[in-house]
Amino acid sequence: VGGEQISSIGRGLCVLLGISLEDTQRELEHMVRKILNLRVFEDESGKHWSKSVMDKQYEVLCVSQFTLQCILKGNKPDYHMAMPTEQAESFYNNFLEQLRKAYKPELIKDGKFGAYMQVHIQNDGPVTIELESPAATVDPKQLTKLEKQQQRKEKTRTKVPSESSRERNASRNKDDPSASSGAEGDVSSEREP
């Protein structure tokens, strides 16, 4: 930050944390558990994907990164889904506090919230894993506008015909007795070639 090194770790995890408007204590707790228990390290015999950062007594470096909440509008990034700075800073500090309570506080490091930082990562493997809270635990009250709109669209696609469309079909059938509503089945497939 500003040309000065403020934090560093040896072996461990670099966590880039994007905090969303919808994030709650539930998501925070889920992320803390996942980060500390994610099995991405090898065991003593060299078997991959066997040990967590806690199993290996490795360090964790956390960097708050609102740009992970980016939604592209054409080629322009839009960050309206990121939690506002004042709330996000409190959320981020709570996240760090929970990590330190669940693990060894001296092994949890962080950057400087809201600062322009140069982050140097030696990505071993390279292995990068995106973690998100499970969709099944989302409170319907916390859905974004886009998710609510998508759900409405899906419901609309699966709806039965409205009363007005039924009435239109019925009036067409009255005008043309040979017209089929489709309820009796389509006999065109039964014709011989």
Q: Residue 92: which of 50, 40, 139, 32 has the closest Cα?
A: 32
67 has catalytic annotation:
yes
- From the list 24, 67, 85, 156, the catalytic residue is 67
Distance CA 29, CA 32 (A): 5
| Widest distance between CA atoms in the chain | 85
CB atoms within 10 A of CB 88: 23
CB atoms within 10 A of CB 85: 12
- Position of tokens 């894993």? 129
Residues with catalytic annotation? Answer: 67
